[in-house]
Amino acid sequence: MPPPFRALNIDTFAREVAAFAWTRPILRVDMHHTFYPAHADWKGLASVEGMHVFHTRDRSFDDIAQHVSIAPDGMIWTGRDWNKAPASVGCNMNADAFMFEAIGNFDEGNDRLDGAQLAAVVGVIDIVQRHHRLPVQALLFHREVPQTKKTCPGTSIEKLDILMAVAQRRREHAAIA
Ligand SMILES: [Zn+2]
């Protein structure tokens, strides 16, 4: 999904995942926070374009690192081509990942992941996992990689809470289908 970057709601995101011509396997969803921009810094498209410039010019990535960025208002911003491996956790682990960044600094005492943004985070994980027939456990927090000292996606976020929410969403959708 090269620029221009677009803001999708969860229903549009689900349709695009279903319609996308995937050419690589997805075996895992990787979750990060941006740290910066934090909620107070968020300016929508200008912030996504800012990350694109930072990643390509200052960090020499070939594109913005993440496949989508999830905004404080729950909108899902497109990023890197979904058929390209992300610049995720490194350590030879990027190849088969779908990677998103939740906009914010979720270290304790800073932003809170809740409301529409939390619902979108859980929705993105669930939709990508179900499309690729993955279990709920196919989720990696950046900080779980032992080679990093980062707290990403933030010390205020418990992985078990996210897994339980994804499992709950999956049960609700199974009931509808
Ligand atoms: Zn991270």
- Spatial strand order of the sheet with 139-141 comes to 7-8, 76-78, 68-70, 97-102, 28-33, 139-141
Spacing, Cα 91 to ligand 1 middle (Å): 13
Tens digit of pLDDT for each residue in 32-57? 999 999 999 999 999 999 999 999 99
d(CA 120, CA 114): 10
Q: Does a cis peptide bond (omega within 30 degrees of 0) precede residue 135?
A: no
Residue 142's nearest CA partner among 110, 114, 101, 105 is 101
Spacing, Cα 33 to ligand 1 middle (Å): 6
Spacing, Cα 171 to ligand 1 middle (Å): 28
pLDDT at 174 (0 to 100): 79
Spacing, Cα 174 to ligand 1 middle (Å): 31
Q: Does the pLDDT at position 3 exceed 90?
A: no
Q: Does the pLDDT at position 175 exceed 70?
A: yes
Number of Cβ within 10 Å of residue 68's Cβ equals 28
Spacing, Cα 74 to ligand 1 middle (Å): 19
Tokens of 61: 């990535």
Spacing, Cα 88 to ligand 1 middle (Å): 7
Spacing, Cα 12 to ligand 1 middle (Å): 25
Q: Which residues contact 90 (CB under 8 A, 6 or more apart)?
A: 145, 147
Tens digit of pLDDT for each residue in 104-136? 999 999 999 999 999 999 999 999 999 999 999
Q: Residues 1-13: what's their mean pLDDT? A: 90
The structural architecture, per CATH, of the domain 7-176 is: 3-Layer(aba) Sandwich (3.40)
Q: Please state the domain extents for the chain.
A: 7-176
Tens digit of pLDDT for each residue in 57-86? 999 999 999 999 999 999 999 999 999 999
Q: Residues 145-173: what's their mean pLDDT? A: 97
